[in-house]
Amino acid sequence: MTIRILVVDDHPVVRHGLRTLLGGRPEWEVIDEAEDGLEAVDKAGLLRPDIVVLDVSMPKMNGLEACRLIRKTVPTCEILFVTQHDSPQMMREALSAGARGYVVKSNAARDLLAAVEAVSQHRPFTALNGHSSADSR
């Protein structure tokens, strides 16, 4: 079954990079993009993706707030943060907001595919620099 993914980041170049990385798996489909949290919430409600790949720092509405709203309106949708914040505190906030995964941008090329794989099966995946953990249950 195809995993439908919404990609959210305020930098178009990063969205291109994420699309390229995710494009390597034929069973995954990037259904749309959003450039801020507000647009992400709107598009998630409309398109009901399986996964939202979400940045934290964005204009209009940040990723944490968007995560809370998306989880409320589309509870089946899993959130995977891809962020520059290599910080345990931010990771805890993201997970408290309802995210299932957390990946640091500088390691995205290494961690993204494994993270989407895990999150698509509703398993947590978190990775900070030098430390990653995926629940393999």
Partner 1 sequence: MKLRILIADDHELVRRGLCALLKDHEGWEICGEASDGREAVEKAAQLKPDVVILDVGMPNLNGLAATRQLSRQDPRCKIIVLTITDTDQVVQEALDAGARGFVLKSDAARDLVSAVEALQRNRMFLTPRVNDMVLAGFLDRGHHASTGETPELPKLTPREGEVIQLLAEGKSSKEVACLLNLSTKTAETHRSNIMRKLGFHSIRDLVVYAVKNNIIQVQMPASARDVPGPTA
Give the nearest distance from C-beta 37 to partner 1 in angstroms: 11
Q: How many CA atoms lie within 13 A of 59 on its CB side?
A: 4
The CB density around residue 12, as the number of other CB atoms within 10 Å, is: 10
39's CB contacts (< 8 A; 6+ apart) are: 8, 60
Q: How far is the CB of 50 from partner 1 (least distance, A)?
A: 21
| Contact residues for partner 1, defined by CB under 8 A | 10-21, 56-59, 62, 64-65, 68, 82, 84-85, 87, 89-90, 93, 96-97, 105-106, 108-109
Q: How far is the CB of 122 from partner 1 (least distance, A)?
A: 24
Give the rounded distance of the alpha carbon of 60 from its chain centre: 18
Paired tokens of 42? 């709107």
Q: Which is nearer to partner 1, 14 or 114 (CB)?
A: 14
Closer to partner 1 at the Cβ: 3 or 97? 97
